[in-house]
Amino acid sequence: MYKSILAGICILTLAACGSGVDQGDGTDGSSSAPLTQNPIPEVLARNLQRISYNPDAQTLTVEVKSLDAPEIVATYARNAALDVPGYTAFSVQDDPLDRMFIALVAASDRRTVQAAVVGDGGQFNTVFNGGYYERTGTYSIPTSNPVTGLVSYAGLYAGVTNMSEPGATNLLPVPPGTPSELIPGQAARTQGEIFLNVSFSDSAVNGAIYNRSIVGGPALESVTLIPSTIDDNGEFLGTVEFDGDPATGSIGSYGGIFGGIDASDVAGVVYIDNLIRDVELEHEVGIFVLPRCGTAGDTAICGSVRP
């Protein structure tokens, strides 16, 4: 079923299903620009080398490995048309036959953590994408009353895929008669909801991403975030499985970092290597920035759990 649905989505572009699109491995060299070196595990960072996001000024500069702009460091422009619920979109494209990159970003309301995902929609059988998260404020684990060591986080999730969005025109129009082999794709985006249960007493985190779908496209299967360990810095790294199907095993990785007093917020990245079951080569990189249940900005599902 998923193959037939996806076939209707992935037409006209080089990053279509089964096209052999994979992660590029080009190099851009180094830059003296004052960007933050992406601090997260390589399995989640992928091609995203360095980044600087200012949520108050709404500015984003990025170093991707590679081919996103003439300069090593690219300044992305705000692109509200590509926003995903809960996440702000930026984009860059140097000319109609250069790759178009989309970035989805978010910062916690308390400015304690933030995250971003960046990706293009494919050109010449290659896609460049990756995620980032970091703590931007103070941090302490929840040990005081009424907060206990067992807490939950919930909110919205968004991502980009290595598939092209059908009918997308990119930022710059392609001249009529351009050979299809030269036309860059616009990354198809994903959306969903995410819920985490966390025990700071046991230094453990797990959860699920559900109500997943491709923006403007079909639903996707829910996935489970298998229990992982929180280290002394409030960071974690674990594996992803299809919900209710542990026999299939890992289909990707997730990781993140807690921030704020009593760990009021968490940000993270999810890499899913099997975006759609039984469809090879299609992957997703997504992000989450979530408040702790019982704090300002939490969601309705938090009413079902203890703060």
Q: Can you give the pLDDT at residue 34? A: 61
pLDDT of residue 274: 83
Q: What is the pLDDT of residue 278?
A: 77
pLDDT (mean) for 164-178: 84
Q: What are phi and psi of 74, to 5 degrees?
A: -110, 140
Task: Check if the beta carbon of residue 255 is closer than 8 Å to that of residue 235.
Answer: yes
Least confident of 26-35, 84-93, 158-167: 26-35
The DSSP element (H or E) to which 44 belongs, if any, is: helix 42-45
Per-residue pLDDT of 43-68, as tens digits, reads 999 999 999 999 999 999 999 875 54
Would you say residue 8 has pLDDT above 90? no
Rg (CA), the chain: 19
Region of poorest pLDDT, from 19-33, 74-88, 165-179 = 19-33
Contacts of range 94-99, beta carbons closer than 8 Å, 24 or more positions apart: 94/68, 94/69, 94/70, 95/172, 96/170, 96/172, 96/173, 96/174, 96/175, 96/178, 97/174, 97/178, 97/182, 97/183, 97/184, 98/67, 98/184, 99/67, 99/68, 99/123, 99/128, 99/184
Q: So where are the chain's domains?
A: 2-304
183-231 residue pLDDT tens: 999 999 999 999 999 999 899 999 999 999 999 999 999 999 999 999 9
pLDDT reading at 10 higher than 90: no
Dist CA 93 CA 196 (whole Å): 36
Cα–Cα distance, 202 to 73 (Å, whole number): 41
Which tokens is 276 given? Answer: 């759609």
Contacts (Cβ under 8 Å, ≥6 apart) of 218: 2, 5, 6, 9
- Closest among 3, 182, 221 to 96, alpha carbons compared: 182
CATH number (3.40.50.1980, 2.40.160.90, 3.30.342.10, 3.30.360.10) of 2-304 reads 2.40.160.90
pTM above 0.75, yes or no: yes
